[in-house]
Amino acid sequence: MVKDSRGEKEINAMMMPDLKVGDWILYASNIAVHKVSEEDAMEILALLEPKSHIDLSLLDKEFLDILKACHTRGLERDEIIRLLKTQDPTELEALFSEANTIRQANLKDFFCIHGIVEFSSYCVRNCHYCGLRRDSGDAGRYRMSASEIVGAVEDAVNKRGYKLIVLQSGDDFYYTDDMLVDIIRMIKERCKVFIFMSVGERSLEGYKKMKAAGASGVLFRFETSSRELYNSIHPGQSYDERIAYLKGMKAMGYYVASGFLIGLPGQTLDGIADDIITMKSLGVNMVTVGPFIPSADTPLSERPAGDAMTTLKVIAIARLLMPKTKIPVTTALETIESEEGRRLGLSSGGNSLMFNLTPERYRDFYRIYPNKYHGKEEMWEKYGLFKEALSYKMLEKKMFEVFEEEGKYSGR
User: Which lies closer to ligand 5AD via its Cβ, residue 98 or residue 334?
Assistant: 334
**Cross-strand bridge partners of residue 262:** 291
292 near ligand 5AD, judged by CB under 6 A:
yes
Residue from 91, 177, 223, 274 binding ligand 5AD (CB under 6 A): 223
Residue from 295, 347, 352, 358 binding ligand 5AD (CB under 6 A): 295
CB-based burial, 300-326: b 16+ in 10 Å, e otherwise: beebeebebebbbbbbbbbbbbbbbbb
293 near ligand 5AD, judged by CB under 6 A:
yes
Q: Is 119 helix (H, G, I), strand (E, B) or coil?
A: strand
341 near ligand 5AD, judged by CB under 6 A:
no
86: exposed, middle or buried (C-beta count within 10 Å: 0-12, 13-18, 19+)? middle
Cα angle vertex 392, ends 388, 396, to 5°? 160
Write the single-letter amino acid at 396.
Answer: E
> Interface mask (CB under 6 A) for ligand 5AD, residues 364-383, using x and -?
----xx--------------
> How far apart are CB 99 and ligand 5AD at their closest, in Å?
22
CA pair distance 184, 186, nearest whole angstrom: 6
Stated as kind and residue range, the H or E segment containing 31 is: strand 31-36
> How far apart are CB 6 and ligand 5AD at their closest, in Å?
38
> Interface mask (CB under 6 A) for ligand 5AD, residues 92-131, using x and -?
-------------------------------------xx-
> Interface mask (CB under 6 A) for ligand 5AD, residues 12-51, using x and -?
----------------------------------------
Is residue 83 within 8 Å of 350, Cβ to Cβ? Answer: no
290 near ligand 5AD, judged by CB under 6 A:
yes
User: Which lies closer to ligand 5AD via its Cβ, residue 109 or residue 306?
Assistant: 306
Q: Is 276 helix (H, G, I), strand (E, B) or coil?
A: helix
Q: Which residues bind ligand 5AD (CB under 6 A)?
A: 129-130, 221, 223, 261, 290, 292-293, 295, 332, 368-369
